[in-house]
Structure 1
Amino acid sequence: MPATASHRIAINGLTDIGQVRNENEDNIRWYNHPTLPFGYVVVADGMGGYNGGSTASTIAVNYIGKHLEAIVNPTFQSCTPNQQELIIQSTLIEAINVANAEILLAKQKNPQLGQMGTTVAIAIIWQDQVTISHLGDSRAYLWDKQGFIQLTKDHSLVQELIDSGSLNEDQARQSNIRNQITRALGVTQSVDPSINNYQLTQNCLLMLCSDGLTEYLDNGQLDYVLSTHRPALECCYRLIDDANLLGGKDNISVGIIEYTLEAAHQSSSQATFTAPPAQPDEDITVRKFVQ
C-alpha cells in the first residue's frame, strides 16, 4: 500500500520559560516532511547554570535534527523496510554521538561552560514505525483509545530507588534528589542512550516533554488532557498552561506527533501495539529493537 496514502502525521512543539527561571535552558526542534509520512521531535533540557544549559540543549537539538532530516533521500526510499529501520537507528546513534562530542568541544573551548550538559528525548516516525530514544529524565509517552503508556524510563537516581522498591511514585515526585540524572549528553566521552522501536497499528498521539511538565502533572493527568483536549496538537499549549498555573518552577517543553492511519488499513487489534510477554507497563507495545 502506498505510504503517502495510508499514513498521515502532524507535529507541533512548544517550549516555555515558566514562571520562575530567568532563562529557558530547554530547547525543542521538530520536523514534518512536506510529502512523506516522516518526522521527528527532539526535546532537550539543559543544565549547567546561566547560558550553559541553553547552549548545551541548543547544540543537541540542532545537531540531532540536522542528521535526522538527512535520512529521507532517494537511497533511503529505495531500501526495504528492514533496511530503512536500520538506517534510522544507525543515523540516530550517530547523531547522538556527534551532539555529545560537540557539547564536549564547546566546553573545552569555553571553560565558563564547563558544567553544562543536557537531557534529550527523541521520537522519529516513518510510516507506521516509531523509534524512541532518550538520555536523562525527559520523557516520551503514547496515547490511543486503548490507554496511555510511558515509553521511557528515567535515567535518574530517583528511578533507581523506585526500581529497588525504596520509593514509590508519589514519594519520588517529592524527593529532593528528583533532578539528579545518571545519563546525559555532554558529560562523558561516550553515551549510552536507550533506544526502542515500535510499530503503530492505529491512530495515536506521541508526546515528548521535559521534566518541567512532569514535575506537576502525573500520568493520569497527562492522560486526561490528551484524551479530552482537541485539536490534539493544541495539547502543547494546554499542558504548558497547566504546568505554569501549578507553579512553573522550571522551563517546560512539549512536543506532540499525531499519527493517523486510514480506516481501511487500521488493525482490528485491541491495542495500538501487539502485546509481547513483557513487563506490565509495556503490555501494549511491540518492542522491535532495544539498545
Structure 2
Amino acid sequence: MESIRLAVNGRTDIGQVREENEDSIRWFAAPDHPFAYIVVADGMGGYSGGATASNIAADTLKKYLDGLLEHTFLSCSPDQQQLMLRAVLLDAINIANREILSAKGAHAQLSQMGTTLVVAVIWHDYLIVAHLGDSRAYLWNNYGMQRLTRDHSVVQEMIDSGQLTSEQAQESSVRNHITRALGVSEQVEPDINSWKLTENALLLLCSDGLTEYLDDHAIERVLATHRPALECVYRFIDDANRFGGRDNISAGILEFASQVETLTTDSESSITLRPQREDVTVRKEQR
C-alpha cells in the first residue's frame, strides 16, 4: 500500500526597506489525501497595486486548488487526474490574469500592477509546477538540489546567450526586468512541468526577495542541514533580512516523505508550454 506523508509551511515578510508587503503566499496540505500545494506571487505596480495583484493571483489559485478534491476527480484514473490537475492550473492562472486586468481597468491607481506567480502541487507522487516571472521553485533530495523553474527575465536571457554570468546578473541594472507576468496582457503562457517523486524530498517556492541574497549553493546548504525542515522558511527570511532585506521575502516549504526511494523526471507526463508571441518586458520596482 502507498505510504506518502506531506507537510507544508510558509511565511512572508515585508523586509527591512519596503513600506508594504506586495508578496502573497498560500499553502495547504489535505488531512485525508496525499495532496498539498504552495502558491507564491510577487506583486509589482507601486503602492497598493502590487499587493492587490499578488493577492488576486494567490487567492484565485487557492480557490481552484481547494475545489479539486471532489467526487469526479477522486473517481478518475491517475492519468486522468494528472490531466485534470494541469487543466485546473491553467484555468486558474488565466482567470487570475483576467481578474487582475479587470481590476486595473476599474481603478486608475492600479493601472501599473501585475504579479509573478509560481505554484507547485503534489498529488500522491506526482509533482506539477507552473510559473511566470522570477519567483522560483527548487527541489532538494539526497542527490542534491535542482532548480525546477527558469526565470522569465531579461538577465536570464542574457545568461542563456552568454552575455552575462550568474554572478554578473546579480549586479545588473536590469536584474528586475521580467518578461512574463500576470496582469500585463490578455494572453499568458506559464511554463508547466511535471515530475514523478520517488524518494523523500523538500520543495521550496520563493520570491526574488530571497534569491537576491542567497544563491543556489546557499539555499541548498540550508535545505540540506536545517532541521526541522519546515522551519527552513524562518531561516530563509532571517538570512535575507540579515543581508539587507531590500525587498519583500516569501518562502514556502513542502516536505514529501515516501517509503519508496530515487527523483526521476516523468517524461511522458511532463510538458512545457512555450510562448506563441514575443514576451512583454516588465520592469519591477528597483530593489
Question: Aligning the two structures, in what range does the TM-score lie when normalised by the shorter sequence?
Answer: over 0.9
Structure 2 CA distance, aligned partners of 1:289 and 1:170?
A: 30
Matched residues, number? 273
What's the counterpart of residue 160 of structure 2? Answer: 163
What's the counterpart of residue 202 of structure 2? Answer: 205
The 8 Å contact of residues 233 and 252 in structure 2, kept in 1 or not, is answered as yes
User: What letter corresponds to residue 11 of structure 2 in structure 1?
Assistant: L
Unaligned runs of 5+ in 1: 277-285
| Deviation for aligned residue 1:272 | 1.6
Among 83, 105, 108, the alignment partner of 2:105 is 108
| Deviation for aligned residue 1:289 | 2.5
| Deviation for aligned residue 1:31 | 1.1
1:21 to 2:18 alignment: yes
What is the TM-score normalised by the length of structure 1?
0.92
Identity of aligned residues (%): 57
Structure 1 CA distance, aligned partners of 2:53 and 2:183?
A: 7
Among 240, 261, 264, the alignment partner of 1:273 is 264
| Deviation for aligned residue 1:275 | 8.9
Q: Secondary structure at the match of 2:181?
A: coil
Q: Deviations over 1:39-69 (max 9, x none)?
A: 1100000000000000000000001110011
What's the counterpart of residue 116 of structure 2? Answer: 119
Structure 1 CA distance, aligned partners of 2:245 and 2:155?
A: 21
| Deviation for aligned residue 1:257 | 0.3
Among 231, 237, 242, the alignment partner of 2:239 is 242
What's the counterpart of residue 33 of structure 1? Answer: 30
Unaligned runs of 5+ in 2: 274-287
1:290 to 2:282 alignment: no
Structure 2 CA distance, aligned partners of 1:163 and 1:39?
A: 33
| Structure 1 pair 167–287 and aligned structure 2 pair: CA distance change class (3 A) | farther
| Structure 1 pair 166–223 and aligned structure 2 pair: CA distance change class (3 A) | same
Structure 2 CA distance, aligned partners of 1:287 and 1:82?
A: 8
What's the counterpart of residue 153 of structure 1? Answer: 150
Q: Secondary structure at the match of 1:112?
A: helix
| Deviation for aligned residue 1:34 | 1.3
What's the counterpart of residue 180 of structure 2? Answer: 183
Q: Secondary structure at the match of 1:143?
A: strand
The equivalences for 1:32-181 within 5 A come to: 32-181=29-178
Structure 2 CA distance, aligned partners of 1:147 and 1:63?
A: 33
Moved beyond 4 Å, runs of 4+: none
Q: Secondary structure at the match of 1:273?
A: coil
Structure 2 CA distance, aligned partners of 1:172 and 1:100?
A: 29
| Deviation for aligned residue 1:273 | 1.5
Structure 1 CA distance, aligned partners of 2:266 and 2:249?
A: 33
User: What letter corresponds to residue 272 of structure 1 in structure 2?
Assistant: L
| Deviation for aligned residue 1:287 | 6.6
Q: Deviations over 1:193-215 (max 9, x none)?
A: 00001100000000000000000
| Structure 1 pair 274–112 and aligned structure 2 pair: CA distance change class (3 A) | closer
What's the counterpart of residue 281 of structure 1? Answer: none
What's the counterpart of residue 284 of structure 2? Answer: none
Structure 2 CA distance, aligned partners of 1:246 and 1:258?
A: 26
User: What letter corresponds to residue 145 of structure 2 in structure 1?
Assistant: F
Structure 1 CA distance, aligned partners of 2:43 and 2:153?
A: 15
User: What letter corresponds to residue 273 of structure 1 in structure 2?
Assistant: T
| Deviation for aligned residue 1:77 | 1.0
Q: Secondary structure at the match of 1:131?
A: strand
User: What letter corresponds to residue 255 of structure 1 in structure 2?
Assistant: G
User: What letter corresponds to residue 198 of structure 2 in structure 1?
Assistant: T
What is the TM-score normalised by the length of structure 2?
0.93
Structure 1 CA distance, aligned partners of 2:185 and 2:42?
A: 17
